[in-house]
Amino acid sequence: MNPTEAGLLLGADHAANESLLWGTYRPNLYFGTRPRVDKSLMTSLMWFDATQFQGFQRKLRVHACDQGDKINGYGYNKHDGRNYAKQTINDGPSNIAITTEFIKIPGGQHGGDWGVRVRGKPMDDDVETITSVMFSLALEGEGSMDIVSKLSPEGLVSPVRLEGDTPELGDFEIHIVDGPSNEHPQGLDQDLSLTQWWGRELPEGVAWREKEIVMENLLMSARQKVSQGDQHDAFERPYAYFTLLNTLTEENEEVSNFYTFQKVFSGEFQFDVLFRSQSSPNKITGDSLETELAQREKTFDARFQEKFRLHEKGFSDEHVGFAQYLLSNMLGGIGYFHGSSVVDRSHHPLEDEENFSDVPIKAELTEPRSLFTATPSRPFFPRGFYWDEGFHELLIGKWDNDLSLDIIKNWVSLIDENGWVAREQILGEEARSKVPTEFQTQFPHYANPPTLYLAIKRYLDRLTEYRQENPINQHTFMATFDNPVLLQSLHLESPEMSKAWLRAVYPKLRLNWQWFRTTQSADLSRFNRKAESKEAYRWRGRTPNHTLTSGLDDYPRGEPPNVGELHVDLLSWMSFATRLLKDISSQLGPEFSTDVQEYSLIEKEMLQNLELLHWNEENQAFCDQTVENGEPIHVCHKGYISIFPVILGLLEPDSPKVKAIFDLIEDENELWSPYGLRSLSASDKFYNTGEDYWRGPIWININYLTLQSLYNNYMRVPGPYQGQAERIYNSLRHNIISAVFKDYQKTGYVWEQYSDKTGEGKRSHPFTGWTSLVLLIMAEEY
């Protein structure tokens, strides 16, 4: 990289960090903010229904997203990934619909200001509703933070004010401001029209447990108050008892790094939390928050319309609302994670696994790492997954190119010196708390499909498109650094920037590809197999009935697992990855031409072997191989893996094998269902058996791959099966959109997978990772 390019990259990273410093980067919580700093200020919202004494325990759980809270639908209805977000949480059990509306105002040297307006509205007006709402602020790492409002045991007068500073955030103020017409029930010795508060000095690393910490205080407080007075009253008016102990006074001031502010409301309510950076030129106020919220909603709607043009495709306003929900939750699912993970490095990276045990031998905590990533599901999997992320970036990249490049670069930086990146990124204790121990350990010889390359290819496609539409004046782009709107397309606009970005990520990508080729290769010489070259692959890390590394967990394979297996999905991924690297490296400049040639050659070898090793004439499908009684044989379980060579566009449009795969797809006794393609053929003996995870249910990521391939490779390219491709495309697209939309209207959620029998959502929800690709399917953006 020459100095100019390096300078440009740094400049862009600095600029990106400014506009992406703060965000709703704690997606595991209903609402929480943090900056992209390893240890800094973290905020979060929690609440409970304060009308019932017994209900308290369950109700305070409303903090981290949890299916057990029985919320009747929640999620972002609008989120632009940078400056604006609006979420609704329909908490039926507490009879309150809560909205969180968030904006950022960029400017200054520390990521600008932000504000959130929290509102509550009883869902049923006839039911008495008292809601206790808390907002916590926790400071980790260096810095300090103090309440500067006048302290009194009855409570704090609005606006509550805090001041603080940290190395990364500089000096800041936080204001917590009451809305104009809140009503409050009667307290005991505290005045519930004022804000209750509690502060404490926490040791490093425990702030993420804010819910338990606050709950403990509330229980203690309630116990103390009950013991002093009338038990009956406590049952009648629990809201007056479960209030924070305002222990600090001006005389007795302690240093705290953790504060919680509590407000007890009757009926409807509203309050704002405003974060003001000392260095910001335009300080946020309640009034500017109000005006900006209205303005930004309009801007969001207009930009959404411009990007996806759904009305023009015949979709209704309801569909557009649904589509905005999909995009917004993908963006609202973006988080910043930091901490160590558990890795077992005792296995040799080339381990051949003769005895197939993945029992951790020497699981160790790694050095802490950070990751900025989208997540598959806020309540269930609020962390990064390698192959999920490639899918996420297809949507994010379409909406905000540079945000997506930032995330991809983050992932690429996690690829280690051997080319390995862990499939699941469980960074830090908070992330680990969600994963049973036996699932925490990552192994450096385990893979996961390399989908990130696809996201990068889509970036190249956008570049090409952009250059065709906008001939570039190479010398004017520097000016865009000062312009936050243009900033969002810097890497698109500037050839230097895009080349520098590609050159920065390329070496690690190549290393990752080389890691795949060495660690996941299969040994063809051991068994008598006809092949043109040595290009054949096998997923490491198999256990009986599972191939978690493939991403298709319980999809049936050869049993028992053995070193003679060849996996058709992996060779397909490898062919695809090699082709994409060829495309990427050919953009880098003439010095990379030997790489380009190498990819070209290997791609050819892979494609030849794909047909030689994996095509099964009798079944007219692509199949795995295994070894039985010393002989290699095909294991055919028709389903997603049989169609990989077509859905990754590896077969020529006039290949008769394409026709065979199309027939398999269209057959109702095999993959076709009225709601999308099922993962395993209805006529396979394992269909709907065992855990039934990838043995029948419909997954949107694979359906998306199918649609994009039909559209890009088979339907608009002349060939004998063009008509069939178009027919499949149209009905599959229609089926997927109708099923997911209908279920969203019914349940308020989108789901991890869908039933091939009823079209109903199944398992984790909301699951707004790759299921959100339905938006790209609606918009036909492939």
Distances (CA, A) of 292 to 110, 175, 300, 627: 20, 17, 12, 65
Q: Which residues are bridge partners to 698 per DSSP?
A: 678, 754
User: By three-state DSSP, how is residue 152 classified?
Assistant: coil
Cβ proximity of 52 and 93 under 8 Å = no
CB-nearer residue toward ligand 6A9: 286 or 333: 333
Please select the residue that binds ligand 6A9; options are 223, 439, 470, 476, rule is CB under 6 A: 439
Cβ proximity of 210 and 28 under 8 Å = no
Q: Provide the mask over 558-597, with x wherever binding to ligand 6A9 is found by CB under 6 A and - wherever it is not.
A: ----------------------------------------
Q: Which of residues 39-68 bind ligand 6A9 (CB under 6 A)?
A: none
Cβ proximity of 358 and 344 under 8 Å = no
Q: Between helices 317-332 and 722-747, what is the axis angle to 10°?
A: 80
Active-site residue, selected from the candidate residues 553, 595, 611, 663: 553
Query: Which among 273, 329, 285, 277 has a CA at the least distance from the CA of 744?
Result: 329
Which DSSP symbol is given to 197? E
Question: Would you list the DSSP string of 35-82?
Answer: ESSSSSEEEEEEEEE-S-TTTHHHHTTBTB--GGG--S-EEEEEE-SS
Query: Which among 645, 650, 681 has a CA at the least distance from the CA of 661?
Result: 645
Q: Provide the mask over 177-216, with x wherever binding to ligand 6A9 is found by CB under 6 A and - wherever it is not.
A: ----------------------------------------
Would residue 258 be called left, alpha or beta, if left means φ above 0 and alpha means ψ between -120 and 50 degrees? beta
Count the residues of the shown chain that bind ligand 6A9, applying the rule CB under 6 A: 11
CB-nearer residue toward ligand 6A9: 135 or 391: 391
Torsion on CA atoms 757, 761, 763, 766, rounded to nearest 10: 170
385 near ligand 6A9, judged by CB under 6 A: yes
Q: How far is the CB of 745 from ligand 6A9 (least distance, A)?
A: 24
Q: Which two tokens stand for residue 704?
A: 């998306």
Q: How far is the CB of 28 from ligand 6A9 (least distance, A)?
A: 14
Please select the residue that binds ligand 6A9; options are 113, 388, 565, 684, rule is CB under 6 A: 388
Q: How far is the CB of 765 from ligand 6A9 (least distance, A)?
A: 13
Q: Which two tokens stand for residue 316?
A: 């209704």
Q: How far is the CB of 679 from ligand 6A9 (least distance, A)?
A: 10
Please select the residue that binds ligand 6A9; options are 38, 416, 553, 666, rule is CB under 6 A: 553
User: What b-and-e string marks burial along 509-539, b requiring 16 or more CB atoms within 10 Å of the CB?
Assistant: bbbbbebbbebbbbebeeeebeeeeebbbbb
553: annotated active-site residue: yes
Q: How far is the CB of 574 from ligand 6A9 (least distance, A)?
A: 18
Q: Please choose, out of 108-116, 433-441, 639-647, 663-671, the segment that lies near ligand 6A9 by the rule CB under 6 A.
A: 433-441
Active-site residue, selected from the candidate residues 400, 402, 430, 752: 752
Q: Please choose, out of 65-73, 270-278, 384-392, 731-739, the segment that lies near ligand 6A9 by the rule CB under 6 A.
A: 384-392
CB-nearer residue toward ligand 6A9: 199 or 335: 335
437 near ligand 6A9, judged by CB under 6 A: no
| 106: Cβ contacts below 8 Å, ≥ 6 apart | 18, 19, 83, 112, 484
Q: Please choose, out of 431-439, 497-505, 535-543, 571-579, the segment that lies near ligand 6A9 by the rule CB under 6 A.
A: 431-439
Q: How far is the CB of 751 from ligand 6A9 (least distance, A)?
A: 12
Helix, strand and coil in the chain, % to nearest 5: 40, 20, 40
436 near ligand 6A9, judged by CB under 6 A: yes
Peptide bond into 159 cis (omega under 30): yes
CB-nearer residue toward ligand 6A9: 91 or 569: 569
CB-nearer residue toward ligand 6A9: 259 or 381: 381
Q: One-letter amino acid identity for 131?
A: T
Q: How far is the CB of 408 from ligand 6A9 (least distance, A)?
A: 17
667: annotated active-site residue: no
| 593: Cβ contacts below 8 Å, ≥ 6 apart | none
List phi, psi (to 5°) of 109. Answer: -105, 0
Please select the residue that binds ligand 6A9; options are 198, 259, 308, 387, rule is CB under 6 A: 387
CB-nearer residue toward ligand 6A9: 155 or 696: 696
CB-nearer residue toward ligand 6A9: 448 or 616: 448
Cα angle vertex 767, ends 761, 768, to 5°? 120
Q: Between helices 593-614 and 568-585, what is the axis angle to 10°?
A: 160
Q: Provide the mask over 353-382, with x wherever binding to ligand 6A9 is found by CB under 6 A and - wherever it is not.
A: -----------------------x----x-
Q: Provide the mask over 507-526, with x wherever binding to ligand 6A9 is found by CB under 6 A and - wherever it is not.
A: --------------------
CB-nearer residue toward ligand 6A9: 184 or 695: 695
CB-nearer residue toward ligand 6A9: 143 or 390: 390
Q: How far is the CB of 505 from ligand 6A9 (least distance, A)?
A: 22
CB-nearer residue toward ligand 6A9: 235 or 439: 439
Q: How far is the CB of 70 from ligand 6A9 (least distance, A)?
A: 20
Q: Please choose, out of 10-18, 351-359, 385-393, 461-469, the segment that lies near ligand 6A9 by the rule CB under 6 A.
A: 385-393
Q: Provide the mask over 533-552, with x wherever binding to ligand 6A9 is found by CB under 6 A and - wherever it is not.
A: ------------------x-
CA distance 553 to 345: 23
Q: How far is the CB of 29 from ligand 6A9 (least distance, A)?
A: 19
Distances (CA, A) of 472 to 6, 426, 476: 21, 42, 9
The gap from C-alpha 481 to its chain's centroid, in whole angstroms, comes to 28
Query: Which among 481, 456, 464, 443 has a CA at the least distance from the CA of 396?
Result: 456
CB-nearer residue toward ligand 6A9: 143 or 551: 551
| 117: Cβ contacts below 8 Å, ≥ 6 apart | 99, 100, 101, 270, 271, 272, 289, 290, 293
For β-strands 170-178 and 196-200, DSSP reports them as: unpaired
Q: How far is the CB of 383 from ligand 6A9 (least distance, A)?
A: 9
Contact positions vs ligand 6A9 (CB under 6 A) = 376, 381, 385, 387-388, 435-436, 439, 551, 553, 769
Catalytic residue list: 553, 752
